Structure 1
Amino acid sequence: MGEIVLYGANWCGDCRRAKAWLREHAVPFAEFDVEHDDAARDRAVELAGGRKNIPVVVLPDGRVLVEPTNTELAAAVEV
């Protein structure tokens, strides 16, 4: 599986939870901070269909998850 991309912010509890879950399951991911990177914020909103919810998780196959639960992450990465 290729690398997952996560758009989020340090103050976001759902983002911290998703990152912790990915780390616990040794799933590699790249992280972009939407609070300090305007281009990342714009891309996250675009990927989420105009929604401003985070985290936005982009899977290697192009699927996009917005505010995924741990269960949704597990199903998406097939852990």
Structure 2
Amino acid sequence: MMRAWILPSLLVLCGSVVATGLVLNGDAGEAAVLLLFFLLLAGVHSPLVFPRPVGALEARRRSEADGRPVVYWRSGCRYCLRLRLRLGRDARRLHWVDIWRDPEAAAAVRAANGGNETVPTVVVAGRPHTNPDPAWVRAQLSPSSPG
């Protein structure tokens, strides 16, 4: 669980160090802007941007019940972030599984991707799709989609 917070923590720490240096040199305005930038960057790369993750078993169970896709992701992955942001509100309709929190999920991703933990891996109707286009994922949520 702590692994997901490493990148955001480093971004906040680096931003704080650089901003402190700028304040000591008398550039308080520039320091504030830079610190805000680093804080936003840390927030975007934090697990807080993603819907609350569930375990792999629970996600599969829910997906079988409601037909919605399962998204395997990890914090700090720019492709996962791209998918999440491009889906917008529709992202909450998927079942999100953080592979850094669930070893079984990481194993499922490795099995689907030739031994690599390539994310996002979206499972629709039992078939994995690695780094799919967000528009395609959104189409899988529509009631008329073939699945």
Q: If each structure's strand is expressed as a fraction of its own residues, which one has the higher value?
A: 1
Question: Which gives a bigger RCO, structure 1 or 2 (Cα 8 Å, sep 6+)?
Answer: 1
Measure, in 1, the Cα distance between the counterparts of 2:138 and 2:109: 21
Deviation above 4 Å: which 4+ runs of structure 1?
Answer: none
Equivalent pairs counted in the alignment come to 77
1:16 to 77, 81, 101: 81
Deviation at 1:78?
6.9
Shift of residue 7, structure 1, vs aligned partner: 0.4
**Cα displacement (A) at 1:17:** 1.5
User: CA shift at 1:71, angstroms?
Assistant: 4.1
Give the share of equivalent positions with the same residue, in percent: 26
Q: TM (normalized to structure 1)?
A: 0.73
- In 1: Cα distance, 2:105 partner to 2:97 partner: 6
Q: Which has the larger radius of gyration?
A: 2
Please give the TM-score of this superposition, normalised by the length of structure 2.
Answer: 0.44
CA distance in structure 1 between the aligned counterparts of 2:120 and 2:89, rounded to whole angstroms: 17
Specify which structure has the higher proportion of helix.
Answer: 2
Segments of 5+ residues of structure 1 without an aligned counterpart are none
